[in-house]
Amino acid sequence: MTEGDLRRFAEMHERHFKQLKVFATRYLGGTCMAEDVVQAAFGQFIPYFDTRKNEEAWLAWLRKAIYRNCLKVWRERQLFRKHTPSVAVDDSVDNSPDRWMEITEDARRNALLV
């Protein structure tokens, strides 16, 4: 990636990050996880950045990557809830995405291994 490409990438990131975060938030319900998903999509996009010159094509690719990442997060949540009996799922418990992120990495890893 050339210096000019890095500058264009940074400008595009700055210009569209908020819009893409809103897009991800609609699927995930929380802004903290949405920011992580959008950042991951931008990271996935870096190797392909110089292959597309049209910004609309870039945005379409990013939206699709964000959507796929949101689905992955959603599936992980479902697996975690299914295989973690110690976590109560009722209205009195905070099941927000922000709360979900507070759960330790070991607990998530153990839930996915079951």
The string of pLDDT tens digits covering residues 19-41 is 999 989 988 887 788 899 999 99
What's the CATH code of the domain at 52? 1.10.1740
Assess whether pLDDT exceeds 70 at residue 2.
Answer: yes
Note whether 84 and 107 are within 8 A (CB).
yes
Q: Which residues of 54-93 are buried (b: 16+ CB within 10 A; e: fewer)?
A: eeeebbebbbebbeebbeebeeebeebeeebeeeeeeeee
Check residue 114 and give its pLDDT. Answer: 44
Task: Tell whether pTM > 0.85.
Answer: no
Question: What is the tally of structural domains in the chain?
Answer: 1
Confidence of residue 65 (pLDDT cuts 50, 70, 90): very high
Domain that holds residue 87: 3-113
